[in-house]
Amino acid sequence: MSRRGGWLGPSAALVGAAAAGGALALAAGARQWQRESDRLVGELGRGEPGLGGRLRFEGFAGLPPPVERYLRLALAEGQPLIAGATVRQQGTFRGREGGDPAAGWAPFTAVQRFTASPPGFVWDARIRMGPLVAVRVRDGYVHGRASMRGAVAALIPVVSAADGPALRAGALQRWLAEAVWLPTALLPGAGVSWSAVDDYHALATATDGPTSVSLQFEFGPGGEIVAARAPGRPRAGKDGRFTPTPWGGRYHGHERHDGMLVPTEAEVFWVVNGREEPYYRGRNETIGYTFTNEEGLP
């Protein structure tokens, strides 16, 4: 899920050029892209030990009431804690804003790998722009460093952002929003702290080294998390500069996986000029977990 708006429009104009590059060039680009993705995933897996042991509900004392209700709903007493997850997704992605809200959507598939402690992820997606050529997009947050890259056919760059404080903050906010898929990462003491707002909202703050971000989560009447919002998430403009912009997402289709209640569908949007501009609508087709042992190791 890119933090830049409007880049799929120029990408579509490059599809013909990429296709003309020939099968050998396309294959070489795909191999190089996969090597870089594999390298990041390998680094992601070399994490520090997280929380060990098993979940105990007595640790919930003092949490805001909607957070305690959610954790008791989503998790089970005595279950192991999540070390990481692999999620396979499909859906539609929109790279252009304004105009017809139904236009500009392209189908995508993605594989996303997570770690719970330290927080991290690598999202590797293919967004189909035509029958032969896709835009490859990779977002990452690995050991406190963020990266973002998009390229037509994995060859022709259309978006690239170097690690820096704004990109790190945006990536950590994304991890926090998607931690609903690995809910033991939202436990007190697991790197996320909670502050009360009201009966259906609470503020979650994640800190990783010098980077600290917050999101306000909304809880449904049954206790499940149904939405998350930030008044300002770093968003890259056409000039490459980041501007804090209202951002949020909604969660649907809650199901139990390995005994834990997690949403399977999400819609993500920016708020531009007071109007929600969705850019991601996806479904988690599969999710596989690794769990920690008593020492906090996978």
Task: Identify whether 261 is part of a domain.
Answer: yes
Residue 243 belongs to some domain of the structure = yes
**pLDDT digits over 19-41, tens only?**
555 666 677 778 888 999 999 99
- What would the mean pLDDT of 255-280 be, rounded to a whole number? 96
209 in a structural domain: yes
Q: Is residue 59 part of a domain?
A: no
Residue 298 inside a domain? The answer is no
What single letter denotes the amino acid at residue 149? R
Q: Per mean pLDDT, which range of 60-64, 196-200, 251-255, 261-265 is the poorest?
A: 60-64
The pLDDT score that the predictor gives to residue 22 is 62
The larger pLDDT score, comparing residue 177 to residue 24, is at 177
Is 158 a domain residue?
yes
- Judge contact between 2 and 159, C-beta under 8 A: yes
3-state secondary structure 144-208: CEEEEEEEECCCEEEEEECCCHHHHHHHHHHHHHHHHHCHHHHCECCCEEEEEEECCEEEEEEEE
Are the C-beta atoms of residues 232 and 170 closer than 8 Å to each other?
Answer: no
Residue 184 vs residues 8, 170, 266, 267: alpha-carbon distances, Å: 35, 22, 19, 22
- Domain assignment present for residue 6? The answer is no
d(CA 225, CA 220): 6
pLDDT-based confidence at residue 288 (cuts at 50, 70, 90): very high
34-36-38 Cα angle (round to 5): 65
With CA atoms as reference, report the closest residue to 155 among 19, 38, 37. Answer: 19
Q: What is the value of pTM for the model shown?
A: 0.90
- Residue 9 counted as domain residue: no
**Residue 258, CA atoms < 13 Å, CB-side half-sphere:** 16
Residue position matching structure tokens 């997402």: 249
* Counted domains in the chain: 1
Average pLDDT over residues 212-239: 95
- pLDDT given for residue 10 in this prediction: 47
Nearest alpha-carbon partner for 269 in 260, 278, 282, 258: 278
CA distance 276 to 278: 6
Counting every residue, how long is the chain? 298
CA distances 239 to 4, 232, 253, Å, are 10, 19, 37
- Of the pLDDT bands very low, low, confident and very high (cuts 50, 70, 90), residue 235 is very high
Q: Is the pLDDT of residue 168 over 70?
A: yes
121-157 per-residue burial string, b: 16 or more CB within 10 A, e: under 16 = bbbbbbbebeeebbbbbbbbbbebbbbbbbbbbbbbe
Q: What is the pLDDT of residues 106-162, one digit of tens each?
A: 999 999 999 999 999 999 999 997 777 788 999 999 999 999 998 887 777 778 888
Span of 120-124, 233-237, 257-261, 286-290 with lowest mean pLDDT: 233-237
Question: What's the pLDDT at 82?
Answer: 94
For residues 211 and 225, the answer to whether their CB atoms sit within 8 Å is no
Decide if 2 contacts 247 (C-beta within 8 A): no
Q: Please enumerate, as own/partner, the contacts of 242-246 that have beta carbons within 8 Å and a separation of 24 or more.
A: 242/3, 242/166, 242/167, 242/170, 245/270, 245/271, 245/272, 246/270, 246/271
**pLDDT tens column, 59-111:** 788 899 999 999 999 999 999 999 999 999 999 999 766 666 666 899 999 99
Beta carbons of 286 and 89 less than 8 angstroms apart: no
* Domain range for 278: 17-47+64-291
Residue whose entry in the numeric block shows the structure tokens 């293919």? 126
